[in-house]
């Protein structure tokens, strides 16, 4: 049962004034700080413990809805001065039927001016980038890569909500036993179509309240991310490096593939992120992972030419995960700087595999400049590496994939957007 205030009587979907106020606060903070919306919402809910689960869900849905539609909403508002609260109201209202009295009831500044703007607005005046809620440069690149029809479908998919995928931890459960246990806990899950480790939930679920999660049977991980970890083709007893470990989702997947046998090193430039990985490792029953904060020249020298597999999940524009992190689309990525960083990281990581060792380059980017172009430049600079068939590697791991590289698109595959290529050192 919700615990905040009385509903406002308007033609908009029922929403409580207190919910709108908190949504506005979260949206203002997100737009001002360009921090992840989920982190800001968590802070807001901790400071407002009177929020029930229904309140949190509705506030979060509204904030994410505005972010996924921000450019269009701002274009509709035009020169009318709108704050974050007005953007929330615009998201809620049927814009064609919005009236000044309705906007004023919601406390929208300059309600009459905005109502006039809405009455006169012609949707045909929106640019394709505004309509699709994409930064101009990103929209132009996607058009060049995919054409108008595919770009429109991709943009529509990026404005939707991402599904909830889980990776089954084979150190503790089979996919079938995990699916059955989730069902006993009241959570319906289907097998993911491509990853042999994945379960896809039919809706949201409070994972932290489920024994299957607390005991490490399952871990949230998009199906595409699961496939990237499988592409490393790691085996028990090997020496493996997760070169850009981040939050550690792929580290956990690699450890399970290795049956927690061998040497697995999780590297990242953020020591604090690596520390946060420890509880996840303990929950998963993983003991064979060590953390290493980069740069560490001595450690890299010791590892050079001695590793069986290295996974580089490189920093990128993150355009492929805009469904989950819509605030990331608020700024134009610096693709030249990102590509230079990606090539530098690949150059450094390429020193680590032994002869016959494996190297995987991956991003959560949709952009060829960060994917295909980086691969081409890397191979030109590193003749000691040859590209291997990603589809063959994944099929050997029990996955369903065809193609020399892994290229996942939300509108085609129902996953986040990912790219990955595999190499072998000769």
The token duo for 202 is 């039919």
Residue 267 among the catalytic residues: no
Q: Which residues of 220-235 are buried (b: 16+ CB within 10 A; e: fewer)?
A: ebbbbbbbbbbbbbbe
Instruction: Quote the CA–CA distance of 189 and 213 in Å, as a whole number.
Output: 14
| Catalytic hit among 51, 138, 267, 364 | 364
Q: Which residues are catalytic?
A: 364
């Amino acid at each position: 049962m919700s615990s905040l205030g009385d509903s406002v009587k308007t033609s908009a979907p029922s929403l409580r004034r207190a919910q709108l106020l908190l949504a506005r606060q979260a949206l203002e903070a997100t737009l001002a700080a360009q921090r992840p919306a989920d982190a800001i919402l968590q802070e807001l809910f901790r400071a407002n413990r009177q929020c029930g689960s229904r309140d949190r869900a509705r506030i979060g849905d509204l904030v994410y809805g505005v972010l996924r539609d921000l450019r269009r909403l701002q274009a509709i508002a035009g020169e009318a001065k709108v704050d974050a609260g007005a953007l929330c109201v615009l998201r809620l209202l049927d814009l064609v039927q919005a009236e000044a009295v309705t906007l004023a009831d919601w406390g929208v500044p300059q309600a009459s001016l905005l109502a006039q703007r809405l009455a006169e607005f012609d949707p045909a005046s929106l640019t394709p980038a505004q309509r699709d809620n994409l930064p101009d440069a990103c929209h132009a690149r996607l058009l060049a890569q995919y054409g108008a029809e595919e770009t429109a479908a991709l943009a529509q998919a990026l404005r939707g909500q991402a599904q909830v995928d889980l990776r089954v931890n084979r150190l503790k459960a089979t996919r079938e036993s995990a699916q059955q246990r989730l069902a006993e806990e009241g959570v319906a899950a289907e097998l993911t179509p491509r990853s042999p480790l994945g379960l896809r939930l039919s809706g949201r679920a409070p994972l932290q309240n489920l024994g299957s999660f607390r005991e490490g049977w399952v871990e949230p991980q998009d199906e595409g991310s699961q496939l990237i970890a499988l592409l490393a083709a790691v085996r028990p007893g090997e020496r493996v490096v997760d070169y850009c470990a981040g939050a550690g989702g792929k580290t956990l997947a690699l450890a399970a593939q290795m049956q927690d046998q061998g040497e697995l090193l999780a590297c990242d430039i953020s020591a604090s992120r690596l520390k946060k990985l420890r509880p996840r490792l303990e929950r998963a029953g993983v003991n064979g992972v060590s953390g290493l904060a980069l740069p560490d020249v001595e450690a890299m020298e010791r590892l050079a030419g001695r590793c069986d597999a290295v996974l580089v999940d490189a920093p990128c524009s993150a355009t492929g995960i805009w469904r989950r992190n819509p605030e990331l689309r608020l700024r134009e990525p610096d693709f030249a700087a990102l590509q230079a960083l990606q090539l530098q990281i690949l150059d450094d990581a390429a020193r680590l595999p032994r002869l016959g060792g494996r190297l995987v380059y991956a991003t959560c980017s949709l952009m060829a400049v960060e994917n295909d172009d980086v691969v081409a430049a890397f191979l030109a600079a590193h003749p000691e590496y040859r590209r291997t068939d990603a589809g063959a590697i994944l099929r050997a791991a029990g996955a369903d994939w065809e193609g020399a590289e892994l290229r996942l698109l939300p509108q085609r595959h129902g996953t986040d957007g990912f790219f990955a290529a595999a190499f072998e050192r000769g």
